[in-house]
Amino acid sequence: MGGFSGMDQSAFRTSRRSTAIQGEDIRYDVILGFTEAIFGTEKDIILSHLETCDTCGGSGSKAGSKMRICSTCGGRGQVMRTEQTPFGLFSQVSICPTCAGEGEVISEYCRKCSGEGRIRVRKEIKVKIPPGVSKGSTLRVRGEGDAGPKGGPPGDLFVCLDIEEPSDIKRDGINLYSTVSISYLEAILGTVMQVRTVDGTSDLRIPPGIQPGDVIVLAKQGVPSLNKPSIRGDHLFTVKVAIPKRISGRERELLEELASLSNGRFARTDTKPKPAQPKAIHQEKEVGASQEDTSKSKEAEGDWLKKLTDFAGCITSVEI
């Protein structure tokens, strides 16, 4: 260990660093609207970053001045500290704190950058947001970070995206999901209703007899693929059927009459007894009476279906 004291000090002399150091990267957060993220947009952002001083070219010295040898390291760029230990002399080499390993220092500083070689500048740039970006996506803009020291190349700008999502539309990949609520009459008879999509208001056709939980698809009204904008997802609507907890007396009568057409599978639930109906007077039927009864029964079913349709239209007009 004692051999360190006899080492040639010139062995620690280093050449001036010639490799340029790249500047640091910058992060910038941007909040997008839901439709902006789906169809893409352009954002004007104002950032503050370091640029190379155009007066000294990044050297930090005044124009026409010369560099002088560092008095701390003697131009070696490194300093050696020797300590006495129980095992002998111990030497440690480190970068010169005065010249930062350059071996030279500035004799006269640039007035514009005060010897830093870089100045802070506020700059407005346009960032193009491609269609189909999602929450948490990061865009890279090359060369818009901080400039490197001593005229080194600049770093990059990373734009981190956040998206404002509406409460009635959910996104999963390139598909969109919504829920639509209809009445039990609309579920039976079918209807056409206005729904909100990213393209605006669209007509959603509800087929007759739709069941709760069924899904209706509006094709190609979803999110464009990020890498292939020509490919677009779908907008899926889950149907919920609203069953009323209370109905009017007239509604109950019509529903019970409708239930009677379903082979009497539904029991009446009236709490008030109805007055006794007069007994029907049976008359002798002529030949062919059964055919007339059958035709009358079909006509009655058609009348009840018409009543139900009119009843649904009446309720719809009242709700509107």
Domain boundary among 183, 212, 242: 242
> How far is it, in rounded angstroms, from Cα 271 to Cα 3?
113
Same domain as 235, residue 179: yes
| Predicted pLDDT at 121 | 94
- pLDDT higher than 80, residue 264: no
| Range in 41-45, 120-124, 256-260 with the lowest mean pLDDT | 256-260
DSSP state of 262: T
Same domain as 173, residue 41: no
Task: Note whether 144 and 156 are within 8 A (CB).
Answer: yes
Same domain as 25, residue 157: yes
Q: How confident is the model at residue 195 (pLDDT cuts 50, 70, 90)?
A: very high
| pLDDT > 70 in the chain, percent | 76
Same domain as 192, residue 176: yes
Range of the domain at 132: 18-53+119-165
Residue 256 lies in a domain: no
| Predicted pLDDT at 317 | 44
- pLDDT higher than 60, residue 144: yes
Residue 12 lies in a domain: no
Structural domain tally of the chain? 2
Domain boundary among 242, 277, 292: 242
Determine phi and psi for 296, rounding to 5 degrees: -65, -35
> How far is it, in rounded angstroms, from Cα 87 to Cα 241?
89
Same domain as 237, residue 182: yes
- Pairwise pLDDT comparison (80 vs 118), residue with the higher score: 118
Same domain as 142, residue 39: yes
- pLDDT higher than 80, residue 34: yes
Residue 317 lies in a domain: no
Beta bridge partner(s), residue 194: 203
Same domain as 36, residue 174: no
Q: How confident is the model at residue 303 (pLDDT cuts 50, 70, 90)?
A: low
Q: How confident is the model at residue 255 (pLDDT cuts 50, 70, 90)?
A: confident
- pLDDT higher than 60, residue 295: no
Residue 272 lies in a domain: no
DSSP state of 236: E
| Predicted pLDDT at 289 | 44
- pLDDT higher than 90, residue 32: yes
- pLDDT higher than 80, residue 153: yes
| Predicted pLDDT at 6 | 45
Q: What average pLDDT does range 56-63 have in this prediction?
A: 87
Same domain as 129, residue 28: yes
Q: How confident is the model at residue 71 (pLDDT cuts 50, 70, 90)?
A: confident
**Mean residue pLDDT across the chain:** 81
- pLDDT higher than 70, residue 290: no
Domain boundary among 202, 223, 242: 242
Residue 179 lies in a domain: yes
Residue 206 lies in a domain: yes
Q: What average pLDDT does range 21-26 have in this prediction?
A: 93
- Pairwise pLDDT comparison (78 vs 233), residue with the higher score: 233
Closest C-alpha to 38, from 126, 134, 172 = 134
**Helix (H) and strand (E) counts in the chain:** 4, 15
Q: What CATH number corresponds to the domain at position 48?
A: 2.60.260.20
Interval 226-240: pLDDT, tens: 988 889 999 999 999
DSSP per position, 74-128: TTSSEEEEEEEETTEEEEEEEE-TTTTTSSEEESSB-TTTTTSSEEEEEEEEEEE
Closest C-alpha to 75, from 83, 63, 67 = 67
Residue 8 lies in a domain: no
> How far is it, in rounded angstroms, from Cα 294 to Cα 317?
35
Cα atoms found within 13 Å of the Cα of residue 85, Cβ hemisphere only: 13
Residue 33 lies in a domain: yes
pTM over 0.75: no
- Pairwise pLDDT comparison (69 vs 268), residue with the higher score: 69
Same domain as 147, residue 34: yes
The enclosing H or E element of 45 equals: strand 41-52
Same domain as 176, residue 134: no
Same domain as 159, residue 183: no
131-145: string of b/e by CB count within 10 Å (b at 16+)?
bbbeeebebebeebb
Interval 93-105: pLDDT, tens: 888 888 888 888 8
> How far is it, in rounded angstroms, from Cα 9 to Cα 195?
82
Same domain as 207, residue 191: yes
